[in-house]
Structure 1
Amino acid sequence: MCDGHDTLRSNNKDLQQVEKQWDRRNFLTKTSLGLGALALGSLMNPQKTFASLAAGGSDNDAVNSILKNQLGLPHHVPKAKRIVYLFQSGGPSQLDMFDYKPKLKDMYGKDLPASVRKGQRLTGMSADQTTFPIAPTIMDFQQYGESRAWVSELMPHLAEVVDDLCFVKSMQTDAINHDPAITFMQTGNQLPGRPSIGSWLSYGLGSDNENLPTFITLVTKNMPGQPLYSRLWGNGFLPTEHQGVQFRSGKDPVLFLSDPENYDGHDRRKMLDYLGKLNNLQHDAYGDPEIQARMAQYEMAFRMQTSVPEVTDMSDEPDYIFDLYGKDSREPGTYAANCLMARKLLEKDVKFVQLYHQGWDQHIGCPEGVRAQCKRTDQANAALIKDLKQRGMLEDTLVIWGGEFGRTVYSQGQLTKTDYGRDHHPKAFTMWMAGAGVKPGFTYGKTDDFSYNVVENPVHIHDFHATLMHLFGIDHEQLTFKHQGRRFRLTDVHGKVVKDILT
């Protein structure tokens, strides 16, 4: 291989020119700190060791500075070590689930006052309506737990864990249609092309498990609804090693990971070693960082051939765990099974696990649709909270539930005493969080009597992202990436940490 290496160099004029320019002084100046830090990281578990240094395990400011600059360490002591984001695609109706408005019962069918709508943008589905009849929920609400949180009859299991939840009832977004809204929620921008939340965390903090991706996505199988695109968990302009990896149900959880038929893989290690040498030649010649990112992906795929079958094997789970998550948890690819899989991945120190569940877009038949969705998800949501808590993991695991926007108080289409539809509503909706660093048994923010406008403590998507990053020890204004001549960040030029919901 060395002879081939020398031959390649002798025939490559570009490479010869690069080597002439790369004198001893430049080499020592540009690589001493970086290679030194990387070598140190390769000799130990980098995240756990370096995190302890950043948290005060060492009084050597110079070392801490190097580690932060080279390896993206936290800016302050983090509360969260890992996160599971239960994304409910389509826009769950806050009025039928969490945001209880009893006065609406006396306003059934009346036109929503223009003074409430305030000329806000409407979707194409209801922009031509001449009236906006108020549709009170038909669901019964009760208060639960010591926190006395309001929860509808649709979620009896979640009602059991309300004292572990932090409800944010004053969420706001700028987007009114699904694709820009979900893109905004996942990437901080309504236009495609930006890195997702999980990719930013991977870029900033790296991995705690060398044998599994930092960022893994699970999608409920066979669910209708608004389409989901891989760019929602994509890396955007960040190196490709930070993109989310989708795990699927079935024989091959990760596409193209298994060896081809009739190949036993005995020489795969040797093949990757030779491929690495060739890629190093390319990197030496052109300095393209994407070459190193692709090499890292090859190596991760090699390790995943062993680690993925192990972590996706459910045979070691006892019956009481399946009973906790519900009967659907025994069927791979269901929402309940994905919640259980998420817990297994979090146990393996996967930093970001993203679940997507479609079907919350109830323009018609809202009561029936929301009821069916809650039946699919309620027990599993509560089970995940209970399971993490009983394992001592909830204290450093952040759990998030929510969609891309909420639903309107007025009915879209026919309104009856038992049926109504709700359009998209970006200006007021509910999310909940639990675990690492957020106040348990707490409700933040308030909407008006119509759940149409926020009247207390608004929380914009940029604020939500800033707070999430803060819980992981990251100053959202400092974690940036230079692309096309400017520095980008998840929160763009906006966002403030919502300190009132933090412990």
Structure 2
Amino acid sequence: MNPDQQRAAYLTRRQFFSKTATGVGAIALGDLLTRNGLGAMATGANAAHRFGGLADLPHFPPKAKHVIYLLQNGGPPHLDMFDYKPQMEQFRGQEIPASVLGDKRFSTMTAGVKKKLVLPHFTGFKQYGKSGAWVCDFLPHIGSIADDLCFVKSMHTGAVNHAPAICFFLTGAEQPGRPSMGAWTTYGLGTESDDLPGFVVMTSRDKEASCGQIFYDFYWSSGFLPSKYQGVQFRGSGDPVLYLSNPEGMSREVRRGLLDDLAKLNEEHYSEFADPEIQTRITQYEMAYKMQASVPDLIDFKKESPETLAMYGPDVTRQGSFAYNCLMARRLVERGVRFVQCFHAGWDHHNNLSTQFQIQCRDTDQPSAALVQDLKQRGLLEDTLVIWGGEFGRTPFIQGDITDTKRWGRDHHPYAFTTWMAGGGIKPGLSYGESDDFAFNVVKDPVDVHDFQATVLHLLGVDHERLTFRFQGRQFRLTDVHGNVVKPLLS
């Protein structure tokens, strides 16, 4: 059913329900029956073992079935990690040429600073693999899998502050209110799991982090889509989901009967008001019931081999750590979850670059590489797209006093930065795009946020111009009215 047909169906529901009593349960519980294997699953090119989604999707055979987005909240410094510019050393402490700087805007922390002095990368770099990718010395594990990665060094965005920039990457708009990429994906493609949410979110921040950013709920919001497509956040301590355990004295059988009775009440309410959120309530209650059985197995790492746990590093068993979340991400897609979003805060290096940067690299390097290796070993990487990147990069000029090495910092830099991807139809061993000699502006093969989104959807078998939802009188899409698939990135 296309969006116009959905809208027409919704407008006639009151009339339908006023004449038909038996239709209430059939429609309200249709999703439940599908999830229980009793109703018709989605039809389409990739419908086998799929629950939900639009009937005409995917638009073409997908290369990726799942997405794991490792979003590094705060802006990782591309110059110090992946964009090697040794020639900058000769300009250390000098002003960046006006011809490079132009009229670019920055955050209020350096907007009024007249002299923007060059700070070259302060780490060593090494080339890795047959691809010869340059990776900094603080990221040896990521360097070791360079031939599996595609580095996009020409990313750029229009947002200069954290929340708007992350919102832009995830929803296609800097202002909150639109559906996130994970919500769009599950709305269009459904999920391959009937006992876990299709879209799961996990957050982490380093124990030593002193520059963590806030995780806002609108980063995984369903926006104007039905709320059942919103990301389900797994907590970093205790039960991953609240109320996972039944209260004392309530058996699973009693819980089942309670939910059945509650579903009947919601059906009656739905027949009166035809509010699609009532359907969401019914399906989410049922999902919560199923998760009581599925989540304990999901979080049981005892079934993982010692070799696998060691691969993710010493923090892997600490719930709420980035390493723990990376292993959880693999276990989630292994069980059919469509979209997993892992946020890690601590990259906002305004005055602690010389100390905090190494800590962040230490805590994300090994788990990130392990995730790619683990997926590859299990044959999951070929249809799982892994994305690693922040909302922007950091400036090649210093924020602060260049002589005070303990308080070095870099401001937000949206004009050129690096993201890497692996698996899911991405061309491995590729470095795409270039920045100038100061890692300041893109000079070759620019990739903007909407291009990035269009490419991710394309890998999932979705034409980004055709996945739309009617809201406030027009058809909306993730890429708004922009975006082109970056075909050289495709394998």
TM-score normalised by L of structure 1: 0.88
Alignment counterpart, residue 208 of structure 1, candidates 182, 186, 192: 192
**For residues 202 and 355 of structure 1, what CA distance do their matches in structure 2 show?**
17
Task: Tell me which residue corresponds to 1:259.
Answer: 246
3-state SS, counterpart of residue 420 of structure 2: strand
Task: Tell me which residue corresponds to 2:455.
Answer: 467
Task: Tell me which residue corresponds to 1:178.
Answer: 162
Is the aligned partner of 1:451 residue 2:439? Answer: yes
Is the aligned partner of 1:46 residue 2:30? Answer: no
Is the aligned partner of 1:385 residue 2:380? Answer: no
Task: Tell me which residue corresponds to 1:486.
Answer: 474
Task: Tell me which residue corresponds to 1:130.
Answer: 114
3-state SS, counterpart of residue 242 of structure 2: coil
Task: Tell me which residue corresponds to 1:343.
Answer: 330
Q: CA deviation at 1:91?
A: 0.1
Question: CA 1:53 to 1:372, structure 2 compared with 1: closer, same or farther past 3 Å?
Answer: closer
Question: CA 1:189 to 1:414, structure 2 compared with 1: closer, same or farther past 3 Å?
Answer: same
Matches within 5 A, 1:288-299: 288-299=275-286
Alignment counterpart, residue 376 of structure 1, candidates 360, 363, 371: 363
Q: CA deviation at 1:264?
A: 2.8
Question: CA 1:69 to 1:212, structure 2 compared with 1: closer, same or farther past 3 Å?
Answer: closer
Task: Tell me which residue corresponds to 1:14.
Answer: none
Is residue 134–residue 410 contact of structure 1 (8 Å, CA) maintained in 2? yes
Is residue 363–residue 423 contact of structure 1 (8 Å, CA) maintained in 2? yes
Is residue 72–residue 206 contact of structure 1 (8 Å, CA) maintained in 2? no
Q: Which amino acid aligns with 2:163?
A: D
**For residues 446 and 439 of structure 1, what CA distance do their matches in structure 2 show?**
17
Q: Which amino acid aligns with 1:79?
A: K
**For residues 72 and 202 of structure 1, what CA distance do their matches in structure 2 show?**
14
Q: CA deviation at 1:249?
A: 3.2
Is residue 18–residue 285 contact of structure 1 (8 Å, CA) maintained in 2? no
Task: Tell me which residue corresponds to 2:6.
Answer: none
Is the aligned partner of 1:121 residue 2:109? Answer: no
Task: Tell me which residue corresponds to 1:398.
Answer: 385
Alignment counterpart, residue 294 of structure 2, candidates 307, 310, 334: 307
Is the aligned partner of 1:237 residue 2:224? Answer: yes
Structure 1, unaligned stretches of length 5 or more?
1-16, 55-66
Task: Give CA deviations for 1:257-303 in whole Å, capped at 9, x if unaligned.
Answer: 32223433431111211221221222222221111111111110110
**Which is further off, 319-328 or 414-423?**
414-423
**For residues 94 and 190 of structure 2, what CA distance do their matches in structure 1 show?**
54
Task: Tell me which residue corresponds to 1:60.
Answer: none
Alignment counterpart, residue 425 of structure 1, candidates 401, 406, 413: 413
Task: Tell me which residue corresponds to 1:416.
Answer: 403
How many residue pairs match? The answer is: 468
Task: Give CA deviations for 1:404-440 in whole Å, capped at 9, x if unaligned.
Answer: 0000011011113855210000010000000011000
3-state SS, counterpart of residue 399 of structure 1: strand
Q: CA deviation at 1:372?
A: 1.0
**For residues 215 and 47 of structure 2, what CA distance do their matches in structure 1 show?**
40
Q: Which amino acid aligns with 2:116?
A: F
Task: Tell me which residue corresponds to 1:62.
Answer: none
Alignment counterpart, residue 465 of structure 2, candidates 457, 469, 477: 477
Q: Which amino acid aligns with 2:437?
A: D
Alignment counterpart, residue 267 of structure 2, candidates 262, 280, 289: 280
Task: Tell me which residue corresponds to 1:59.
Answer: none
Question: CA 1:483 to 1:42, structure 2 compared with 1: closer, same or farther past 3 Å?
Answer: farther
* C-alpha RMSD of matched pairs (Å): 2.5
Task: Tell me which residue corresponds to 1:154.
Answer: 138
Task: Tell me which residue corresponds to 2:9.
Answer: none
Is the aligned partner of 1:74 residue 2:63? Answer: no
Task: Tell me which residue corresponds to 2:314.
Answer: 327
3-state SS, counterpart of residue 342 of structure 2: strand
Question: CA 1:35 to 1:365, structure 2 compared with 1: closer, same or farther past 3 Å?
Answer: closer
3-state SS, counterpart of residue 71 of structure 1: coil
Matches within 5 A, 1:351-370: 351-370=338-357
Q: CA deviation at 1:152?
A: 0.8
**For residues 435 and 17 of structure 2, what CA distance do their matches in structure 1 show?**
66
TM-score normalised by L of structure 2: 0.90
**For residues 19 and 467 of structure 1, what CA distance do their matches in structure 2 show?**
41
Task: Tell me which residue corresponds to 2:152.
Answer: 168
Task: Give CA deviations for 1:436-480 in whole Å, capped at 9, x if unaligned.
Answer: 110000010000001110000110001100100010011111111
Task: Give CA deviations for 1:388-408 in whole Å, capped at 9, x if unaligned.
Answer: 111111111100000000000
**For residues 206 and 187 of structure 1, what CA distance do their matches in structure 2 show?**
18
Q: Which amino acid aligns with 1:88?
A: Q
Question: CA 1:40 to 1:102, structure 2 compared with 1: closer, same or farther past 3 Å?
Answer: closer
Structure 2, unaligned stretches of length 5 or more?
1-13
Q: CA deviation at 1:41?
A: 9.6
Is residue 138–residue 418 contact of structure 1 (8 Å, CA) maintained in 2? no
Question: CA 1:40 to 1:154, structure 2 compared with 1: closer, same or farther past 3 Å?
Answer: closer
**For residues 89 and 120 of structure 1, what CA distance do their matches in structure 2 show?**
22
Alignment counterpart, residue 428 of structure 2, candidates 422, 440, 447: 440
Q: CA deviation at 1:44?
A: 6.9
Q: Which amino acid aligns with 1:462?
A: H
**For residues 312 and 363 of structure 2, what CA distance do their matches in structure 1 show?**
11
**For residues 286 and 361 of structure 2, what CA distance do their matches in structure 1 show?**
41
Which structure is larger by alpha-carbon Rg, 1 or 2?
A: 1
Q: CA deviation at 1:122?
A: 1.8
Is residue 480–residue 489 contact of structure 1 (8 Å, CA) maintained in 2? yes
**For residues 273 and 236 of structure 1, what CA distance do their matches in structure 2 show?**
29
